[in-house]
Amino acid sequence: MTEIRIGQVYLAKEVKVGRNKSGPWEIIIVQAPGKNQPKIAISVIKPPSGIGPNGVFKITSIRSVMHRNWKSNGRWLPGSVTVRCGVKSLAQLSDKEMERLQGEQQINYNSHKPKFPSLEDMFK
């Protein structure tokens, strides 16, 4: 189960950015570790957040949750879940917030395969 909670720290699986007539937008995709876990899209309230793929961030507020379905060949198919959130990258957290996070949570980096290889992997 992929769950989004205020104050929780997440690892960005993927980040999509763009611009439309309303201005810039940013979507961060998160997914719980394990097989077949659902992906949830985080729509950033104040883009740009400065969070990139494989970036670690904290949810500071939740404004809304949307579940979208779409129609294909006359059948409705289950869609995605998007959570409109305020976010802070780990680099933006204060020392007190970092101390609190270290005591509360562990981020499992090994459960996530990076989208892009590291320089070490490229030269092996």
In-domain check, residue 20: yes
Residue 100, SS3 per DSSP: helix
In-domain check, residue 76: yes
pLDDT at 111: 53
pLDDT tens digit string along 18-42?
Answer: 999 999 999 999 988 888 888 999 9
Number of domains in the chain: 1
CA 40-43-45 angle, to 5 degrees, is: 150
Count CA atoms closer than 13 A to 118's CA, side-chain side: 6
* Residues in a beta bridge with 42: 28, 83
CATH of the domain at 104: 2.40.50
In-domain check, residue 60: yes
* Residues in a beta bridge with 49: none
Range of the domain at 32: 9-122
In-domain check, residue 2: no
Instruction: Judge whether 43 and 25 are in contact, CB under 8 Å.
Output: yes
Could you give the percent of the chain with pLDDT greater than 70?
80
Please tell me the chain's helix, strand, coil percentages from 3-state DSSP, rounded to the nearest 5.
Answer: 15, 40, 40
Q: What is the DSSP letter of 110?
A: G
